[in-house]
A and B are shown apart, each in its own frame.
Chain A
Amino acid sequence: MRSAREALTAARRAPLLSALGVVTIAFSLFAFGLFGLGAINIRKSLDQGEERVEVRAFVSDSTDIESVAAAMKDIGNFPEVARVDYVSQEKALERARKEMGEFADVFEAGVLPASIEVHLRPGMRSPAIVKSVADRMKTYQFIDDVRYGEEWVDKLYRMRTIATVAGIALGVAFAAVAVIIIGATIRMTVLARAKEISIMRLVGATDMFIRLPFLIDGLVKGVLGGLLALVFVWVANRVVNEYFIETIFFDRQMIFFGVLGGAMMGVLGSLVSVGRHLRRI
């Protein structure tokens, strides 16, 4: 309680420095937040692409429907498989006519084969897994051919890997920059109160007694900076949505962890700055 009061009094004594601290933290977290927003939108696009990954097995014309049904049940039990659909010859024709538009008349009944369409579970769409499912489906005698857009799946998976690695590297870099900036901001507060700290030590204040108000100060600045950064990111997201492309925003859980992250960075920055100062004097 005393530490909270002390932190508040210190902020009142140097309002400009405190405001500057909050704004600096907000801007460093804003950069981090923009990166995060970009990352979740890229991820969403990749997820949408992945959802389209499917394995299609073409069935011989003479195959009886019972055999197909038995095979579908069998395939549906594969751990990688989310859903299995049967596309009859008539349905394949209808689809083709719909997709081809003006060339709809080219197709005649019985030209297109029936097929089994297999949709995979999320996280089970890597080229190796897709190939393994396709290979197993080829073992049925009535299957003429199995296709899954091998090249496209490879490209998509490579893009996903690059996006994940780049995301982690950039995320760590942005977080490190934010921690450094926040640490430097709080260091300014510590230096502004260096004389007070030295007197506190001389009159018998313990290190924890000296540290606590700074930790609270860091916590409050981290939370305020985090909330301000959230407002900036929200405005930026609205502008992008309005004038460029449709994007998604952070969900509640992400917002909570974002602000909590800001608070943790504030506390960590304070801990390091005050600790270094106390060791030095």
Chain B
Amino acid sequence: MIRLTDVAKEYPRSGVALAQVSFEVKKGEFVYLTGPSGSGKTTILKLLYMDDKPSQGEVWINGVSSKTASGREISRLRRRIGIVFQDFRLLEDRTAEANIRFVLEVTGAPKATIRSKVARVLTQVGLASKATSFPRELSGGEQQRVAIARALINDPFVLIADEPTGNLDERATRGVFQLLRDINASGTAVIMATHDLDLVRRSNYRTIELNHGRVVFDSSESPASARPFDEPFEVRDTPSDSTERF
């Protein structure tokens, strides 16, 4: 479903962000991308939703290749991918419901479908009663739930989450994480970038660890004990992840 083959990414100003990254993600899998800041987690996610193209190698996602994808193909692909960010990226001047509805309007869905789908996802993330609230009236955890609902509205085959709990307190983190587990249990693959080692340790999902833009550990290839996650990450202050453009 998702395959990265010898992927490298280099930025003109900040240098090498990724080097020789290869891995596959199967349908319905839950994968953590871990590693210190600047290790290349966000870069990988951006390559997955084709916001950027690799300098070398190839990214395949749901039959679309980074080498040949046209603008229209990328748009179509993104309608099948759910994306969640640390900073939620909700439109402040719209209610929770309008923020979610917006996605379906973009894809030209009929009004009746929009109404029923929005109600369904709001219930799924536990925010049916907050449909008419504006983002500023919601807590951080609730805003992230709205963002997740927005990502789920098109029944994505994969949910890509970039540090979704990074701005949340522990209780909200637990709630959001449980929601992601539920989504995965219903068959949607989840790729989640995080440097929250406690979260990683508490669950038994596949973990890919990055450092200096390279995969240094993949739990699907090594025994679970090989990387016990009891060492803190080496913090590297490189700007490769800070090429964020949104």
Residues of chain A having any CB pair with chain B under 8 Å: 2, 13, 195-196, 198-207, 209, 281
What residue in chain B is nearest A200 (Cβ atoms)? Answer: B106
List chain A residues, Cβ under 8 A from B246. 195, 198, 202, 281
A200 to B106, CA, bound (A): 7
In the complex, the answer to whether B75 meets A199 with C-beta atoms within 8 Å is no
In the complex, the answer to whether A203 meets B103 with C-beta atoms within 8 Å is yes
What residue in chain A is nearest B106 (Cβ atoms)? Answer: A205
In the complex, the answer to whether B75 meets A204 with C-beta atoms within 8 Å is yes
List chain A residues, Cβ under 8 A from B83. 202-203
- Minimum distance in angstroms from B92 CB to a CB of chain A: 8
A281 to B76, CA, bound (A): 18
- Minimum distance in angstroms from A1 CB to a CB of chain B: 11
What residue in chain A is nearest B246 (Cβ atoms)? Answer: A198
- The verdict on B105 contacting chain A, using a C-beta distance below 8 Å, is yes
Shortest Cβ-Cβ A-B pairs, 8 listed:
A204-B79, A204-B78, A205-B106, A203-B103, A206-B75, A198-B246, A204-B75, A203-B106
> Which residues 91-123 in B have Cβ within 8 Å of A in the complex?
91, 93, 102-103, 105-108
In the complex, the answer to whether A206 meets B72 with C-beta atoms within 8 Å is yes
What residue in chain B is nearest A209 (Cβ atoms)? Answer: B106
Q: Can you name 14 A-B pairs with beta carbons within 8 Å? A: A2-B108, A195-B89, A195-B91, A198-B246, A199-B91, A201-B75, A202-B51, A202-B83, A203-B103, A203-B106, A204-B78, A204-B103, A204-B154, A281-B245
> Which residues 60-102 in B have Cβ within 8 Å of A in the complex?
71-72, 75-79, 83, 89, 91, 93, 102
In the complex, the answer to whether B78 meets A203 with C-beta atoms within 8 Å is yes
List chain B residues, Cβ under 8 A from A205. 75, 106-107
**With A198-B245, A206-B71 already in contact, 7 other A-B pairs whose C-beta atoms are closer than 8 Å:** A2-B105, A201-B75, A202-B49, A202-B78, A203-B103, A207-B71, A209-B106
